[in-house]
Amino acid sequence: MKLLAFLAASAFVFVASQATAQDLGQAPVKHAAAPALHDLAPAGPRSEPKPEPAAAPASEAKPAPKPRAVRRAPPQQQQQQPQGFWANFGRGNPAANQTYARPQQQPSQQSYSARPGGNRLFLGMFYSTIPRQTVAFSEKYAPGTIIVRQRERRLYYVLGNGQALQYAVAVGREGAAWAGTSVVSNKREWPTWTPTPEILRRQPNLPRFMEGGPQNPMGARALYLGDTLYRIHGTNEPWMIGEEASSGCIRMTNDDVIDLYNRTRMGATVIVQR
């Protein structure tokens, strides 16, 4: 009887404990039951779920930033270059000051020579002029006669009474010089120039016609000799006076040819001597 009562009590306690466990939500026990055989299949790598960031409370939300105003710097003004030649000297910028820039000659105003370049006086930068002077002249010629002595590179205007005005001149080159007697058939101020065919053969780049002016090789005045192409005229190459430089014409400085032009009458005799 005692054994039956003990077993009945144990069964009651066991049933009560099971009912209590079910009421408590079937809390896990310390030792878990062994898994079944079909649960032992290999499982893939487990990835831990990443916790989602908690949303910030509405009270802590930051307000949207206001657009920032951008201030633009004022445009830099170009620095004004100092004026004057010495202020810009050595800057290495030829456009810094155009006031002192050398003007370029226009093609119509270029200087032309009736002979190739290459004189012996450093391109004409330094030369000396031979002034006209009154000299003794004992030869018997009528006053107003013009005598040209090519070997001396001198022209004489006979004054009379044993005197003459002496001028320095340039004469024709070897092979172009001539000698003879002619008369002044025409006189012109600032004459035009038409190069002869012989000159154009030597210098084909010359213009076929050139108006009178300071750059014209005929110079300020011209005395035409008879019906020939020879003339006594000025020059735009005063450094060539005293040399054999022309194609047969007699060249003078512009100052001297103006003085001779004013003294000489039409029809005056001109004698060119070797």
- pLDDT at residue 129 in the model: 84
User: Degrees (nearest 5) of the Cα angle 268, 270, 274?
Assistant: 170
- The predicted-structure confidence for 96-129, as pLDDT tens digits, reads as follows 333 333 333 333 334 444 443 344 455 556 677 8
The β-bridge partners of 240 are: none
Dist CA 251 CA 172 (whole Å): 9
- pLDDT at residue 196 in the model: 85
Query: End-to-end CA distance of the chain, in Å?
Result: 185
- pLDDT at residue 141 in the model: 96
- pLDDT at residue 252 in the model: 96
- pLDDT at residue 230 in the model: 92
What does each C-alpha distance from 243 to 113, 120, 250 come to in angstroms?
15, 10, 11
CATH T-level topology, domain 130-273: L,D-transpeptidase catalytic domain-like (2.40.440)
Q: Where are the domains of the chain?
A: 130-273
Active site residues: 233, 249
The β-bridge partners of 171 are: 244
pLDDT lower than 50: segments of the chain: 21, 24-44, 58, 81-120
Dist CA 24 CA 22 (whole Å): 5
- pLDDT at residue 68 in the model: 62
- pLDDT at residue 136 in the model: 97
- pLDDT at residue 1 in the model: 61
Dist CA 175 CA 159 (whole Å): 32
- The predicted-structure confidence for 42-59, as pLDDT tens digits, reads as follows 444 555 555 555 555 545
Dist CA 51 CA 37 (whole Å): 33
Question: 198: buried, middle or exposed (CB in 10 Å: 19+, 13-18, 0-12)?
Answer: exposed
- pLDDT at residue 95 in the model: 40
